[in-house]
A and B are shown apart, each in its own frame.
Chain A
Amino acid sequence: MKTVQAWLEAHPRTGTALLALYYLAIITGLVVMYGRGDFSTPPFVYQEF
Chain B
Amino acid sequence: MNPGPPTRRSHLTAALAALVVAGAALAAGLVWCQRVERRYVHALAPDFSDAKLQGAALQRAAFAEDDLLILYGSSELTQDVPTTAVRFFQDYPTGFRVFPVGKHGTGALAVLQKVAAVGPGVRGRKAAFSISPGFFFYEVFDPGQYEGNFSTMQAYELAFSSRLSRELKRDVARRMLAFPNTVDDDWLLETALDRLAGDSATDRLLYDALRPLGALNNAIGRAQDHVEATLHILDDDTTFETAPARGPRVLNWSRLVKNAANVVGSLVEKKRKQVTKLRPKTSRDKAFIETVGKAKEWTDTELLLRTLRELGAQPLLLTMPIEDIRLEAAGLSPAARRVFTERLHRLAQAYNFPLLDFREYENDPGFLSDFFDHLSEKGWIYYNRELDNFYHDRIPQTEQAALPNPPP
Contact = CB atoms under 8 A, between A and B. Distances in A.
A19 B14 CA distance: 6
A37 B10 contact: no
Interface string A10-43: 0010011101111110111001000111111111
Contacts of B223: 35
Contacts of B75: 46, 48
Contacts of A39: 50-51, 54-55, 151, 153, 224-225, 228
Interface string B151-177: 111000000000000000000000000
Interface in B205-220: 220
Given A40-B50, A44-B144, A49-B372, A12 B6 contact: yes
A47 interface: yes
B28 interface: no
A41 B182 CA distance: 10
A6 interface: no
Given A19-B10, A23-B15, A41 B137 contact: no
A45 interface: yes
B11 A19 contact: yes
B21 interface: yes
A26 to B, nearest CB: 8
Interface residues of B, number: 46
Interface string B213-244: 00000001101110110000000000000000
Interface in B361-375: 370, 372-373
Contact of B18 (A12, A23, A35, A49): A23
B22 A40 contact: no
Contacts of B21: 20, 24
Contact of A16 (B14, B22, B134): B14
A38 to B, nearest CB: 7
B50 A35 contact: no
Interface string B132-155: 101101100110110111111100
Interface of B: 6, 10-11, 13-15, 17-19, 21-22, 26, 50-51, 54-55, 75, 104-105, 132, 134-135, 137-138, 141-142, 144-145, 147-153, 181, 220-221, 223-225, 227-228, 370, 372-373
Interface of A: 12, 15-17, 19-24, 26-28, 31, 35-49
Given A39-B51, A44-B144, 9 more contacts: A16-B14, A20-B14, A23-B18, A37-B220, A37-B228, A39-B225, A40-B54, A42-B147, A46-B105
